[in-house]
Structure 1
Amino acid sequence: MNIASVRRPIIPPAPPRAPDNLSFFGRLAVIKQNMIATWGQRAYEEEIIQGRFLLHKSFILNQPDAIRHVLLSNYENYTRTPAGIRMLRPVLGEGLLLAEGHAWTHQRRTLAPAFTPRATANLVPHMTAVLDETIAKLDARTNEPIDLREIMQRMTLEIAGRTMFSFGMDRHGPTLRNFVMEYAERLGRAYFLDMVLPVSWPTPMDRARARFRTRWTEFVAMLIAERRAAGKNEGAPPRDLFDLMNEARDPETGKGFSDEQLVDEVATMILAGHETTATALFWALYLLALDPDTQEEVASETSGEHLDSMADIDRQKFTRAVVDETMRLYPPAFLVARAARGKDVVAGAKVSKGDIIMIAPWLLHRHEKLWDQPNAFIPKRFMSKEAPDRFAYLPFGAGPRVCVGAPFAQAESVLALARLIGAFRVELADTIPVIPHGVVTTQPDHSPMFRITRR
């Protein structure tokens, strides 16, 4: 995709690329700290890289047709890896992201109506109310150093709470954030035994994760009980995601969710709905602080717009392109790893049972054969008539397991960025480069301080 630009685009900081001959144990040492830093230059140039992981072959796929085969044409042959299950099950249980087979089909069919564009439109008032409050609080903090990453986390958590339960997260927010931080800092990292032992063989970290899960599910069940106690007006339309999920029925079987299943689905939606969006908004604000000209284009587009409906959001074409480009450079899910259930052929390579397939949006989105100026921040590439290949751009995955909440996340991100940049000029208050780290999601290595001024 060729991009014409009248000025030199910015190239944001990135971790150094690993030597292509990095040893197995050297790679393991880096994985624990920053998975993104384990890939060398070859991974950004070649379409498929074959290696070995212990007794099995491993493949990194950067070819859209091969990715289409794994995620769409033959997706039932590929399942999550033992390490992936260990990382996610304690916080997501058997919710939609981890379910397989008939359980996944039932959950997907049941949840889909709650996340249509029409259902999302009904939740926009919850989003705008939180944004009004956030902007009012930021008004009192202009011209002083502020941590916008923390503010985005609080804001998206509040949006998640109100869109899910119709109540604020003032009382429960700190506890929820503590759960997220506790898990990400230690339990959500991949250790050697996590990667080599079958899921049925517990590792020392699995025991700690099990203790965490007990406390976590009790907390989510308490939130659900509080929401149920608030009740619902008889005959009133659904007012939040909980209403939609609680009343949802599989259109083929007529079955809804048990209380245990509802806990896992709510946990999945709260975590996926607030942490990844907060991170994407942080990176967007960071990029716009580095690129004042692009920031002014966003502000110009939002000028005079009230932005309180889906129609208003849909008109923010350039802001949407900024969000899309942000998620290209900083995909929330930087790696999708799958284990083969059986034999297959992918891009001419023979795949055996147990082999590991890696599709890394971090690599794919910066691949030198797929993108013009792949490391540069150029939002207008997403306004070009020459759209990227569907399987070369995967911020929400692809195929049957594409993220069910993508319309919600996209609407929230565009609305929040448009409202914030429409209200404030954003600048960095320090000059230390922010380096992305791949842990659970694509996180910054530190939270830089920003300075905002009213427009």
Structure 2
Amino acid sequence: MNIASVRRPIIPPTPPRAPDNLSFFGRLAVIRQNMIATWGQRAYEEEIIQGRFFLHKSFILNQPDAIRHVLLSNYENYTRTPAGIRMLRPVLGEGLLLAEGHAWTFQRRTLAPAFTPRATANLVPHMTAVLDETIVKLDARTSAPIDLREVMQRMTLEIAGRTMFSFGMDRHGPTLRNFIMEYGERLGRAYFLDMVLPVSWPTPMDRARARFRTRWTEFVAMLIAERRAAGKKDGAPPRDLFDLMDEARDPETGKGFSDEQLVDEVATMILAGHETTATALFWALYLLALDPETQEEVASETRDQHLDSIADIDRQKFTRAVIDESMRLYPPAFLIARAARDKDNVAGAAVSKGDIIMIAPWLLHRHEKMWDQPNAFIPKRFMSKEQPDRFAYLPFGAGPRVCIGAPFAQAESVLALARLIGAFRVELVEADPVIPYGVVTTQPDHSPMFRITPR
């Protein structure tokens, strides 16, 4: 994809690329620290890279047609890897993200009405209310450096709480954030036994994850009980995602969710919704702080805009392009890993049962044969007539299992970035580079301090 640039674009820092001849055990050692740093130059140049993962072959796919085959044409042949299940099941249970087969079909059909454009439009007032409050709080903190990553985490968690339950997260937010930090720091990392043993064989870390899950599901059930106690007037329209999910029925069977299933669905929506959006917004703010000219273009687009409806959000074309480009450079989900259920042929390569397929948005979005200046921040590439192949840009996945909340996340991200940059000029206080690392999502290696100035 070619794109013309009037000025030299910024190239944000990245971790050094691994040697292409890095040994298997050397790669395993790096994986625990930063999965992104395990890939060498070949992975950014070649369409398919074949290797070995213990007794099975492994494939890195950078070819859109091959990715289309795995994620769409023959998606039922590919399931999550044992390590992926171990990392996610303790926090997401059997919710939509991890469900397979008939359970997944039932959940997807049942949840779909809660995430239509109309349903998202009804939730925008919750978003704008939180943004109004955030801007007021930030306006009182312009005299000192500020950690905008933490602000984005708190803000998106508050939006998640209000859109899900119609109540604020002042009381429960710190507990929820502690759960997330506890899991990400130790339990959410892949250890050697996690990757080599079948899911049915518990690892020492699995026992710790099981103890975490007991506490976590009790906490989510408490949130649900509190929301149910608040009630809903008979005949009133749904006022939040919980109403929509609690009342949802499979259009074919008429069944709804059990209380146990609802706990997993709520956990999935809160975690997948708030953490990935906070990460995307942090990276967008970081890039705009590195690129003041692009930041001013965003501010100019938002000037004199009310920004309180889906129609207003849809008019922010350049701001949307900044979000799209930020998620190209820093895809929240940096890796999609699948294990083959049965033999297959992918782009001429023979795949056997148990082989590992890796589709890495981090690699795909920076592939040197698919993108012009792949490491540069150029939002206007997403405003040109020549758009990337649908299976070359995967910030929300693709195929039947594409993220069901993508329209909600996109609306929230564009609205938040437009409002924040419309209100404040954002600068970095320190010159130290922020290096992305992959642990569950694409996180910064540290939280830089920002300075904000009212416009």
TM-score by length of 2: 1.00
The alpha-carbon deviation at position 91 of structure 1 amounts to 0.1
- After superposition, give the CA deviation of every residue in 1:357-393 in whole Å (9 maximum; x if it has no partner): 0000000000001100000000000001001000000
1:326 is paired with a residue whose SS is helix
The alpha-carbon deviation at position 233 of structure 1 amounts to 1.2
CA distance in 1, matches of 2:396, 2:5: 28
- After superposition, give the CA deviation of every residue in 1:26-78 in whole Å (9 maximum; x if it has no partner): 00000000000000000000000000000000000000000000000000000
The alpha-carbon deviation at position 235 of structure 1 amounts to 1.1
Instruction: Note if 1:155 corresponds to 2:175.
Output: no
- After superposition, give the CA deviation of every residue in 1:196-235 in whole Å (9 maximum; x if it has no partner): 0000000000000000000000000000000000000111
1:283 is paired with a residue whose SS is helix
Instruction: Note if 1:66 corresponds to 2:46.
Output: no
CA distance in 2, matches of 1:85, 1:234: 40
1:345 is paired with a residue whose SS is strand
Q: Which consecutive unaligned segments of at least 5 residues does structure 1 have?
A: none
- After superposition, give the CA deviation of every residue in 1:386-420 in whole Å (9 maximum; x if it has no partner): 01000000000000000000000000000000000
Corresponding residue for residue 409 of structure 1: 409
- After superposition, give the CA deviation of every residue in 1:255-297 in whole Å (9 maximum; x if it has no partner): 0000000000000000001000000000000000000000000
Count of equivalent residues: 455
- After superposition, give the CA deviation of every residue in 1:153-198 in whole Å (9 maximum; x if it has no partner): 0000000000000000000000000000000000000000000000
CA distance in 1, matches of 2:202, 2:208: 10
CA distance in 1, matches of 2:141, 2:266: 34
The alpha-carbon deviation at position 316 of structure 1 amounts to 0.2
CA distance in 1, matches of 2:281, 2:173: 19
CA distance in 2, matches of 1:12, 1:254: 50
1:14 is paired with a residue whose SS is coil
The alpha-carbon deviation at position 145 of structure 1 amounts to 0.2
CA distance in 1, matches of 2:254, 2:410: 30
The alpha-carbon deviation at position 242 of structure 1 amounts to 0.1
The alpha-carbon deviation at position 144 of structure 1 amounts to 1.3
TM-score by length of 1: 1.00
CA distance in 2, matches of 1:12, 1:117: 34
- After superposition, give the CA deviation of every residue in 1:321-346 in whole Å (9 maximum; x if it has no partner): 00000000000000000000000000
CA distance in 2, matches of 1:7, 1:124: 36
- After superposition, give the CA deviation of every residue in 1:124-149 in whole Å (9 maximum; x if it has no partner): 00000000000000000113100000
CA distance in 2, matches of 1:237, 1:12: 46
2:87 is paired with a residue whose SS is helix
CA distance in 1, matches of 2:326, 2:233: 41
- After superposition, give the CA deviation of every residue in 1:1-21 in whole Å (9 maximum; x if it has no partner): 111111000000000000000
CA distance in 1, matches of 2:5, 2:215: 52
2:60 is paired with a residue whose SS is strand
2:425 is paired with a residue whose SS is strand
- Alignment of structure 1 residues 278-289 onto 2, 5 Å: 278-289=278-289
Corresponding residue for residue 107 of structure 1: 107
Corresponding residue for residue 21 of structure 2: 21
CA distance in 2, matches of 1:143, 1:443: 27
RMSD: 0.3
CA distance in 2, matches of 1:347, 1:44: 18
2:324 is paired with a residue whose SS is helix
- After superposition, give the CA deviation of every residue in 1:408-444 in whole Å (9 maximum; x if it has no partner): 0000000000000000000001111000000010000
CA distance in 2, matches of 1:6, 1:388: 21
2:10 is paired with a residue whose SS is coil
Corresponding residue for residue 229 of structure 1: 229
CA distance in 2, matches of 1:6, 1:413: 27
CA distance in 1, matches of 2:374, 2:320: 19
How many percent identity over aligned positions?
93
CA distance in 2, matches of 1:234, 1:134: 33
1:264 is paired with a residue whose SS is helix
- After superposition, give the CA deviation of every residue in 1:76-133 in whole Å (9 maximum; x if it has no partner): 0000000000000000000000000000000000001100111000000000000000
CA distance in 2, matches of 1:276, 1:2: 28
1:442 is paired with a residue whose SS is strand
2:350 is paired with a residue whose SS is strand
1:133 is paired with a residue whose SS is helix
CA distance in 1, matches of 2:54, 2:448: 39
CA distance in 1, matches of 2:81, 2:181: 24
CA distance in 2, matches of 1:113, 1:384: 32
CA distance in 1, matches of 2:160, 2:338: 29
CA distance in 1, matches of 2:51, 2:363: 16
Corresponding residue for residue 373 of structure 2: 373
